[in-house]
Structure formats: C-alpha cells, structure tokens
C-alpha cells in the first residue's frame, strides 16, 4: 500500500496550487472558470452545473454548449442559471452537430433570457479568456470540439489559459467494474479535437472513467436531494424525470470537484495520447501533459457532493 501511495501526487503544495491564489489575509480567491458542456444528454452535466453554483470556491464567468442542438442546450443551461439567481452568466452555443437525444432540453422550451448571447461559443470563450489575463480555467465536460476550434482559430489562446479541467478518457478501467479501458464518449465523439487539446501544452486535469464511472448517486441520495424545495433541487428533479433512467453516475461533477478538493482523488502526472478511435493511452518515457485522477473513494465523493447540493439533508 505504501508503495502504491508513493506513486501519487499528494503534496500540500500541489493542493494549494490547485485551490488558486491566496490573498494577503490567507483567504482563497474564487477560481474563474468557463464551463463547456453538452448539457441535456446525460444527466451528469446538470449535476455538475449545480455543483459549480453551490461552490463559493468557483467563479463561473460563462457557459458554452457543444454537440448536437447546441442552442437547445444553451437554453437549458441559461434556465438553470436563471433558476439559481445567476442570470448574469452569459451563455453561448457552439456550432450545431448531428442530432442527438436531448430530452432534458424540453424543460427549457421557449425560455428566453438576455444571458443567451448571439455570438458564437468561440467568441465568448475568447472574450472571457482575454478578460481574465491568464487566470481562466476551462472546464469542458462534453466533447472537446469547442476547445479545439478555439485553439485552431486563435492559437495565441493556448498561452492565456491557466489550465483545462476535463471529464474524459479511460486509462486502466472502462465503464463497468473490472472492465478494460474504453473509448470514453467525450473523447471518442471528437477524437481529433481531443488530440489537439492534449497536444496544446495547456496544463490538463483529467477525470477519466477510472474514477468517474464509480460515482453512482443511489435512490436514497436522489430522494434526499429531490425532496428539497430550493430551485436547483427542483430543477434537477424535473431534468431527472425527463432523463428517464434510475441511477445517475456523476462523471462530470468529478472534473468540477477536482478544482475544489483535489484530495478526493489520487492523481498522477502522465503523458496521455489519443488514437483515432478515441482511446486514451498513457505513454511511458514522455513528459507529462496531464494530471490524471486514477483512484477515488466513491462514498467520500458522494458525501462531498451532497454537502454542496443538499447541505440541509446531510446527516
């Protein structure tokens, strides 16, 4: 066990760097982030947005949407933000793609808001990155299409992004217990974009299936959350009903959580490469391009999530 632990990065200094800069009084300043999401497909994007809004350590500057009907996804994100009292956060849609099942977006049919911007996701990303002077962390929890397009259209952006914290990939395990590595959806949906991002030189924090596929929010936790009367629990309850499956797996919230509490996972610097089929492989002998979460305690993570999303229900 000690030999295993020695392989992982658990230094206090690393944790401080992940948590962001500290002011003269020692209080942590919120980390400025932009969320890039395919909200409306799986339910975990909505849970991730909820975690962001419930976390004072994070300063959400903008949301961009990716994959399929990106405008419907943008309406959904903007309605969630409005329900949470954050209608000030701008939302922009990426380029539309192939039609996908996004039943959750029915919840936001007809929703309008000044937060829904007419400019493209790329333009909103560029504005937010330029404005933050090197402090923005991008949090892509869907395919990496928007991020790769940004880097190709505006190559100078790579040096202005502090880091990327993403959900994606598979190193030693796939979607199911004891399964081999899989071509994880977010990476495989646009493998070329993932290749661009992982070769960009931007520091990457990676939450792969190795940790995220273990994070099931069971019925008891769902009932405790949905029983609350606040706007966000009720929004999640409505989206859960439209989603139509019994047990959410909180893949995407782990990418968010690693910015708040990196100690939730044991992580290791790796050099990750992506093949044409979207497989993510660790390559020995090359300089690391990502800090990869490889192990976690699922019960500890669920406790962390519930303490933010449903604090009054935590016993």
For every residue of the chain, DSSP letters joined together read -HHHHHTSB--HHHHHHHH--B-TTSPBPPEEEEEEE-TTSSTHHHHHHHHHHT-TTEEEEEEEE-SSSHHHHHHHHHHHHHHTT-TTS-EEE----S----GGGGGGTT---TTB-SS-HHHHHHHHHHHHTT-EEEEE-S-SHHHHHHHHH-GGGGGTEEEEEEE---SS--SSTTPPP---HHHHTTHHHHHHHHTS---EEEE-HHHHTT-B--HHHHHHHHTS-SHHHHHHHHHHHHH--S--B-HHHHHHHHHH-GGGEEEEEE-EEE-TT--EEE-TTS---EEEEEEE-HHHHHHHHHHHHSGGG--
- Is 251 labeled as catalytic in the residue annotation? yes
Taken in order 227, 230, 235, 238, the sign of the CA dihedral is positive
Give the burial class of 105: count Cβ atoms within 10 A of its Cβ; 0-12 exposed, 13-18 middle, 19 or more buried.
Answer: buried
Tokens of 51: 């975690």
How far from chain centre, in Å, is Cα 82?
Answer: 20
Are 278 and 191 spatial neighbours (Cβ–Cβ below 8 Å)? yes
Which residue among the candidates 221, 229, 245, 251 is catalytic per the annotation?
Answer: 251
How far from chain centre, in Å, is Cα 224?
Answer: 23
Tokens of 210: 């190795």
Active site residues: 251
């Amino acid at each position: 066990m000690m030999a295993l632990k020695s392989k992982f990065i658990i230094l206090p200094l690393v944790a401080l760097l992940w948590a962001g800069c500290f002011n003269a009084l020692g209080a942590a300043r919120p980390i400025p982030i932009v969320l890039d999401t395919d909200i409306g497909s799986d339910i975990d994007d909505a849970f991730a947005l909820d975690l962001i809004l419930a976390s004072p350590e994070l300063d959400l500057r903008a949301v961009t949407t990716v994959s399929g009907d990106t405008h419907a996804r943008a309406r959904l994100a903007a309605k969630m933000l409005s329900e949470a009292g954050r209608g000030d956060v701008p939302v922009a849609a990426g380029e539309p793609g192939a039609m996908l099942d996004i039943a959750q977006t029915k919840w936001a049919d007809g929703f309008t808001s000044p937060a829904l911007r007419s400019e493209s996701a790329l333009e909103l990303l560029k504005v937010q990155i330029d404005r933050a002077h090197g402090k923005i962390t991008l949090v892509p929890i869907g395919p990496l299409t928007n991020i790769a397009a940004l880097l190709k259209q505006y190559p100078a952006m790579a040096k202005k992004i502090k880091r990327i914290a993403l959900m994606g990939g598979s190193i030693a395990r796939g979607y199911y217990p004891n399964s081999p590595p899989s071509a994880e959806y977010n990476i495989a949906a646009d493998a070329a974009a993932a290749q661009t991002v992982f070769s960009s030189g931007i520091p990457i924090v990676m939450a792969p299936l190795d940790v995220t596929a273990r994070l099931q929010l069971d019925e008891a936790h769902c009932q405790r959350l949905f029983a609350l009367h606040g706007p966000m629990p009720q929004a999640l309850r409505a989206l859960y009903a439209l989603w139509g499956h019994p047990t959410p797996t909180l893949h995407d919230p782990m990418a968010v959580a690693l910015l708040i509490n990196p100690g939730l996972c044991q992580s290791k610097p790796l050099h990750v490469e992506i093949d044409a089929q979207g497989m993510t492989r660790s390559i020995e002998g090359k300089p690391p391009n990502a800090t990869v979460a490889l192990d976690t305690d699922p019960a500890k993570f669920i406790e962390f999530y519930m303490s933010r999303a449903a604090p009054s229900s935590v016993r």
